[in-house]
Amino acid sequence: MVRIPLTNRETSLKKQNDDKPLNKIDILKNALIVAVLGVVIGLLAPFGMHKIPVLTSVSYWVISCLVGFVIYLPCIHLSDIKLKHIIKRKWLRVGLGCIPASLLMSIAAAVLTWLFFDVRITLGWPFLENVARTSLIGGILTTATFFREVFESQQEQLSQTEQQLNVAKLSPEIEIDLNYQEFMTMLPLEYRGQLLCLQMSDHYLTVHTDKGRHTMLMRLKDAMVLLRDYDGMQTHRSWWVAHDAVVKIVKDGRKTHLILSNDLTVPVSRSFLVKVSAAGFAK
């Protein structure tokens, strides 16, 4: 059986989307969204702006949003790139990038307020209120553009998956391990990758992949049913290991352990030692 690695393709595509540089089309799309949101905010006239002409309110918010976009975009992009190897969750990297952007935007907002309304914002409580307002608006704009990018990324991943399935259906030599694919779709997208091992604890199953680990409510034997055609073996009543994940065999007296590619040590119980040996993983 040839297994179509759809989940690996999803994570590879996700990585490509995370790594791709900013391009003019994406920047223009996001700028357009920000400008539209500026119009909406201007029409809503928050913070007492219903007392001023609508055109002034809309102009102020559109310019403020676009200036914020110019400030937030590089800060968030830089935070996303620099912290990628430290913080795995993209939304957290984006949030950290918003902190310095909000401070810079507060200064820009003070300047715009002075230019539009001839109101000077001094240091102290008025400036802190300004920071709160700009952080709120900046958060809304960032969230809107972030979810648009996530939606487009998901759509692209689904398209790639459908293409792979269509190719597989047209190729009689290829048989898709649908049970394996069904199991991998139970994991969050960021943890889907090369399957390393399964670890059972009480009623919870921890799935280890090269992307990390995820715990879910599932029995080991039920997971093994879905992975029956996958190249792996049970080494202990609470452990199942993929063949490709084993890099070293360690024997200490009567105890045998397997060292996996993620440096995890997996025990081999006596009752499963014969099967492990038959698979070529015992000294």
What confidence tens digit (pLDDT) does each residue in 66-76 have?
888 888 888 88
Tokens of 186: 């139970």
**pLDDT tens readout for residues 122-169:** 666 666 666 666 666 666 666 666 666 666 666 776 676 666 666 555
For position 11, what pLDDT does the model report?
44
Average pLDDT over residues 30-57: 84
Q: Where are the domains of the chain?
A: 6-162, 181-278
Question: Within 10 A of 251 (CB to CB), how many other CB atoms are there?
Answer: 11
Distance CA 15, CA 268 (A): 35
Identify the sign of the CA torsion 247, 250, 255, 261: negative
pTM score above 0.85 = no
Give the pLDDT band (50/70/90) at residue 97.
confident
Domain 181-278 has CATH 3.40.50.720: no
Distance CA 204, CA 222 (A): 12
Query: Across all residues in the chain, what is the average pLDDT?
Result: 79
